[in-house]
Structure 1
Amino acid sequence: MNNTTSAPSSSDTQGKRNLWLLVGAQSLGGASPPIIISLGGLVGLQLASDPSLATLPVSLFNLGLALSTIPAAMLMRYLGRRQAYTLGALLAVAAGLVSAYGIAQHSFTLFCIGTTLAGFYAANVQNYRFAASDSVPPAQRPMAISRIMIGGLAAAIIGPQVVIWTRDAWAGLPFAGSFVSQAGLALLALPLLLMLRLPSLQFAVDTGTARPLLDIARQQRFIVAVVAGIVSYGLMAFIMTAAPMAMVMHGYNSDQATLGIQWHVLAMFGPSFFTGKLINRYGKISMTAAGLVIIGLSALLALAGMELLNFWGSLILLGIGWNFGFIGATALVTDTYSQSERSKAQAMNDFLIFGTVAAGSFSSGYLLNTLGWSQINLFMLPVLGAVLLLLWWLHLTGTHRSAQ
């Protein structure tokens, strides 16, 4: 099929080049969150005066991500995606160094500042999936989004292995070396980002009349898609944040906890080789619902026992469920806006998702300490059931019209 627009990256060759550059950038940028999530709580336990504050660095990372979605979108709109992505990577270099310096100075505050700054980079990395979807016709969007997520496979290996290889690299300062390495990974991503030649968001806005954001947000499909994205990503992040500490609390060491996160992140991105094809075959609503059901199964496995296989198996199922649920929900959202509306609609989607994730992550450490691992997994089941009912309702109403 031919793309007849005059956007700068209209050729198939340029589109494929951009796609693989984004996959590479995702591989490096996606390695940062596993480092922060697997170590943030453990460093927090070392530095925080109150154990209930141990997950605060991870929560602030999520908050930084949420608060950065709209400013990042504005920068992409006025400066271009390549420039905004490059700025995000530079800030990530600073963030990793500030986090490492915080550990060196035994300063919980400095460490939290570093993880918060890393959120801006994460907001840009999350936008890579939309950069890919905007480069292809609507029918190819699930496949493009899924392909970008394949970069997370490399991230799933790089991030946890960086933790294991570098956690003791700085003598007498456990984990500081891992955050220096986090800065190094962002530095490696810079050449890839600078080679991108993406369509201008300014061009897209100028080619059509955009509806008010409130009109876009009122659509039934937009509401259900965002809610599904919030729940699939929010529950995953909530459990992923608590899991390393829960494992240590139940007698497992930090290497076992880190490997659990590695298996989880591999499961998050591994299905991306075929998720796009499954969405094209079975539909966006069906695959989103399947993802939520698998997340429910992960909770049931966690409730079944405290053996290492229960922890790891639950994290693997959680990752697979997130992949189907989040990619499906993202594909649903892309049906709800036109080319002239995409910048603000994408920013609103990510702000709602990651704002809710940030709010939920602030309570993960407290709930883990007060309620326990089993209770927070039990909490997931009614939430998942409610969203499955919403998806069923959307299917019955036949609200499938694309805004394109």
Structure 2
Amino acid sequence: MQLDRALSRTSRRLIVTLFIGQGLALVALFTTVAISSIAGVQLAGVERVAGWPSTATLIGGSLAAYPIGRLMGRFGRRIGLSIGYIVGISGGLLAGAAMLLRSFPLFLAAMVLLGASRAAADQARYAAADVSPAHLRARAVSLVVSAGTIGAIIGPALTPIAGRLSEALGADKLVGPWFANAALFVITLLFVSIFLKPDPRDVARDIARHERAAATQPDRSAAPDAPARSFGQIVRGDVSVRVALIALALAQVTMVMLMNITPVHMTHFEHGLEDISFVISLHILGMYALSIVTGWISDRWGRRLTIGLGALMLIGACVLAPTNPDTLPLAASLFLLGLGWNFCFVAGSSLLTDRLRVNERARIQGAADLVVSVSSAIGSLSSGELMASVGYQSSATIGIGLAIIIAAATLASARMPLQTVEV
């Protein structure tokens, strides 16, 4: 189905705006991603707290995901994203102040705020889905997800520059990146506040009405005025939503768990920081760089098939990673791990949006992101314990089991008829 020309132009412009805004937000966040654990250890004076900043970030994301979704549902995507960026500004400033004041508790509070800002920024992909017709939805989601490539390249490159600037001003080199983080969030806030108009929520209603009038889109998004259902009603009543949630959550656990323990595994084989950085860089590339291809596959071949392919990639990564500790095989395995996550993430996000009414989307998507955030926290917190207790290979085997569940759920759902909704 083709939208009318004016609506189509608005849709394309908003998707580009969301892509640029997400790129700016992730540059801000990735500027400090490499130094948070170092800063935490420096402030606390003990290495055992190295994982605490990351955990605080995950807690912040978990706490914010659902409220920010409800906020977007009530006041619109632009307001919700803007509030998230303001929280990010506050987090960056607070972290910089914590470094100057040498306060570890203040630093952890800042990490919670930055985690909340990431949760808000990640919902930009759903805003892109809002402004796209169903047959182009995954490509819109994937374009916004691909902005992570910009963040992954530019953000870490700004870290040493900001560090040198803070040293030139007489402060510790770990102070500057946090204030750079805040400054970048200011730019993001201004950009989105000015250019993300009309609000994607309003455009979504126009598209849903257009699709309903054309009688070509019998899914949930074609019923913008139908009563909103609760999260429980939707999950119990729609197998596709259950598949989307399983894909999003279990792919996240698998990815985070193996990603976190691979650097430790590499140190056991005397790999240096250069090798470890190379492997993680390839992993991040897999997570984001091919997102547009993923979106095309999902729109062309279907969400469930794309999720199934992602599950197979996750299985392949978990099988291959323990077999060879050399740098290149591990880099290939971690790239495949990131790509499998990307397939599940893009297609799962698109499938979830396909099955929701317009007046349900922001709230239910926030609840879904809460599930993903909690899953990420579980993967992060359990990874070290699993590595210490059962080792790298057994941890990867657990990842295989989780990916098999994704594949099985997708295969089982393919045998069931697609539910319709009474409107």
On whether the aligned pair clears a TM of 0.5, the verdict is yes
Bigger Rg, which one:
2
| Aligned residue among 205, 219, 226 for 1:208 | 226
| Aligned residue among 102, 127, 144 for 1:131 | 127
Mapping of 1:4-403 within 5 angstroms?
11-35=7-31, 37-48=33-44, 51-167=47-163, 169-171=165-167, 173=172, 175-194=174-193, 195-197=195-197, 198-200=199-201, 207-218=225-236, 219-244=238-263, 246-247=265-266, 251-254=270-273, 256-399=275-418
Inter-CA distance 220–72: structure 2 relative to 1 (3 Å threshold): same
Contact 2:125-2:145 at 8 Å conserved across structures: yes
Inter-CA distance 175–297: structure 2 relative to 1 (3 Å threshold): farther
Contact 1:335-1:403 at 8 Å conserved across structures: no
Structure 1 stretch displaced more, 305-314 or 241-250: 241-250
Find the residue that maps to 1:16 and give its secondary structure. helix
Deviation at 1:26, TM superposition (A): 1.2
CA distance in structure 1 between the aligned counterparts of 2:268 and 2:132, rounded to whole angstroms: 47
Find the residue that maps to 1:111 and give its secondary structure. helix
Structure 1 stretch displaced more, 97-106 or 72-81: 97-106
Inter-CA distance 213–351: structure 2 relative to 1 (3 Å threshold): same
Inter-CA distance 331–403: structure 2 relative to 1 (3 Å threshold): farther
Q: Deviations over 1:317-337 (max 9, x none)?
A: 121111111111112212321
Residue 130 of structure 1 aligns with an amino acid whose one-letter code is Y
CA distance in structure 2 between the aligned counterparts of 1:242 and 1:275, rounded to whole angstroms: 26
Contact 1:264-1:312 at 8 Å conserved across structures: yes
Contact 2:43-2:102 at 8 Å conserved across structures: yes
Inter-CA distance 102–357: structure 2 relative to 1 (3 Å threshold): same
Q: Deviations over 1:2-31 (max 9, x none)?
A: 558xxxx97222221111111111112223
Deviation at 1:60, TM superposition (A): 1.7
Inter-CA distance 176–234: structure 2 relative to 1 (3 Å threshold): farther
Q: Deviations over 1:252-292 (max 9, x none)?
A: 45455444433322221111222122113322111111112
TM-score w.r.t. the length of structure 2 is 0.84
Inter-CA distance 335–42: structure 2 relative to 1 (3 Å threshold): same
Structure 1 stretch displaced more, 333-342 or 163-172: 163-172
Deviation at 1:380, TM superposition (A): 0.8
Inter-CA distance 233–374: structure 2 relative to 1 (3 Å threshold): same
Inter-CA distance 202–40: structure 2 relative to 1 (3 Å threshold): same
Residue 192 of structure 1 aligns with an amino acid whose one-letter code is F
TM-score w.r.t. the length of structure 1 is 0.88
CA distance in structure 1 between the aligned counterparts of 2:275 and 2:174, rounded to whole angstroms: 15
CA distance in structure 2 between the aligned counterparts of 1:24 and 1:392, rounded to whole angstroms: 36
What is the alpha-carbon root mean square deviation over aligned residues? 3.0
Deviation at 1:310, TM superposition (A): 3.7
Structure 1 stretch displaced more, 366-375 or 142-151: 366-375
CA distance in structure 1 between the aligned counterparts of 2:33 and 2:392, rounded to whole angstroms: 17
Inter-CA distance 264–338: structure 2 relative to 1 (3 Å threshold): same
Inter-CA distance 158–368: structure 2 relative to 1 (3 Å threshold): farther
Gaps of 5+ in 1: none
Residue 82 of structure 2 aligns with an amino acid whose one-letter code is T
Deviation at 1:379, TM superposition (A): 2.2
